[in-house]
Chain A
């Protein structure tokens, strides 16, 4: 690793950048525009977020607060846990544990730094982690393993049986750093009695682990408070998803990123509720005006991303979609399976409900929520089994009226690369144009961003999904 890369702590520098970026809009528009010229590498990303108005500004402030909490946790007497994006955080907040969501830290580095997280990815390999492991963890993990971040007190993950590559990253970090490790693991089925019993027993074991690590017993009132917040958030998320069904979709593409980042980092906190309310306000305005969420207000084609998004520098993925007036209808990361979600109608066994009437009800609710997190729900069993990847992709595509499906993952994703060709074949047979991108969402060195856009563009062209120049279809 270059000396210059080791000059600053990874998490500290992210916080500094985001903290400063979050106040750029506190002054006048003229001041903001002048400040933008001074931002070297992620000017466009910042502007894309701030342009979303109050919701964008709120996201920046929320991220700044989250990062500061990670940095100051130990000083304030809190424990810090490494965890994964698909681990539902409310239980950690109930214990006043600060979660460092490794994939989110990778995403931040990827879209903010000029060279992304390349050097940290490579550092991971140098200390023994395979270079074929998932880049979503390796990006930030490299920095933490190099000592360039807060040292976590323990690790909790819930990916064994879902994505072993993900679980392996956390097991590796635990062995490397010699810190305690807890895994929730999942049976290959979702909605049957055996799976439910397993989830509940496993979750109780997690609670015991957290009690042991924090030296605290679970604070029932605090847990209820957190869950009440989750319930509010669920209602707001369900309403947002319903808006995505409209044509044009009034939901700005980047709100998908807002939605899942907020959920992964701050589910159960009032900060996130505020963000959702502001997002919804903007979406309602767009819907009332009958315009799409894009910059131009137009929508030419609607896409569903069957797995994850592309996190290349400066949020180019979202900006490129906008420039082509391609509506982003979500991805596997933005479906959470609340019982009131529009996609859960008629599928209540696949959804979860938040109940707060007793301690057991609360713990069971958390267990059910955890087992329905993105990826955890739909990648646990055979892709073509009930409630799994094919079912979900078909459902979202139909419900959201998507014109095409695209797959983007990472080179480390054994689980989806093991079946994505089958998924694509099944979708095509059902008349849904489907594109597999051989890119890595976190590492531009695998396939350049230019190659990715060329491939999506050519695919849309060949499948007759777009014509003419972008920007012509505008109703706003």
Chain B
């Protein structure tokens, strides 16, 4: 089953999407964990999180974006320009950071030059950078506007019941992912970091009902087999910029490490909190999505994030922390600098690394750095 997830994580389009499209289903792409994707699911459509997997050139990305921009949105634009996102019926842009929010204009303009590369439905979804009563109200309004725009464009109705049902399904998946977390953080480790990432990535690219079944079956099977893979390996935690690349995780784990925890957005952040099912669906949804401040895009919450890191380090008995950021990701990159200062002061070995998103052209350099870190961990 893990192989199914790994195959899905290494490819953009996948058999589940093809089947979904074949039966007339719609697919809506989105880039960030701050979009309440339950709304898309409640509309009867498939939420698909953007990735840049399989990019081999940045000829399109570099044409519209400037030179000093993160390679993640550039890779997404590249794939769009190449027609590889043609299965999307819509796209939602979320201001995760400056580079990501400019994907809005760059994609729209590329759409003028590369016919068919811009999905028919294209929506900008604002997200405040702080948690207050008025920012939550604004965010709730923004969510309603998003919901109504889907209803209007696709000529459908998203009922409160459908949203509540989606919340139930997503919470169920989050509980399963927390169960998967425990298979990694305990004394015996039943799942590698790269396999866990594959599971998580696949979950952002397939119908969630099927995903829940597949996930549950996989966890049952892992628990049944109970094969510990931690023997002789250093327990690591991965922190920082977006990572959907199992290859990057493999490089780390092939060097004798085992990623037992993370605080990544294709990871812990996506399942850490549940939506309150006893509250009014839209209110509960918006609270959950805005109130989790794990991403440094939420400015001024450094201490909260440090606390999360400390808790994860303690729970997973981590030997060392890898603080990574994609080049030009100043939000994660700078915060990693302070994490390093504060965690090292508490005796937690840390390693900071800057990398590019996309094809692992720098495997050798990364491997050398990670090998050196492993030596330090002894």
Contact = CB atoms under 8 A, between A and B. Distances in A.
A82 interface: no
A174 B354 CA distance: 23
Given A133-B330, A171-B302, A188-B126, A384 B134 contact: no
Nearest to A172: B334
B291 interface: no
Contact of B126 (A187, A201, A412, A438): A187
Contacts of B97: 164, 414
A160 to B, nearest CB: 4
B267 interface: no
Interface in B293-344: 296-297, 299-300, 302-303, 325, 327-331, 333-338, 340-341
B124 interface: yes
B37 interface: no
A202 interface: yes
B320 to A, nearest CB: 18
Interface string A128-148: 111011100000000000000
B134 A129 contact: no
B247 interface: no
Contacts of B132: 201-202, 205
Contacts of B80: none
Contact of A171 (B66, B106, B300, B327): B300
A24 interface: no
Interface size class of B (residues with CB under 8 A): 35 or more
A413 to B, nearest CB: 8
A175 interface: yes
B334 A161 contact: no
Given A202-B134, A382-B124, A438-B67, A171 B333 contact: no
Contacts of B328: 132, 414
B141 interface: yes
B74 to A, nearest CB: 10
Contacts of B99: 414, 418
A314 B341 CA distance: 37
Interface string A161-172: 101110111111
A176 B338 contact: yes
Interface string A411-425: 111111111111001
A201 B136 CA distance: 12
Contact of B124 (A169, A185, A188): A188
B328 to A, nearest CB: 5
B302 A130 contact: no
Given A133-B334, A414-B328, A419-B106, A161 B66 contact: no
Interface centre among B105, B126, B327 (most CB of A within 10 A): B105
A438 B68 CA distance: 10
Interface of A: 127-130, 132-134, 160-161, 163-165, 167-172, 174-176, 181-183, 185, 187-188, 194, 197-198, 201-202, 205, 382-384, 411-422, 425, 438
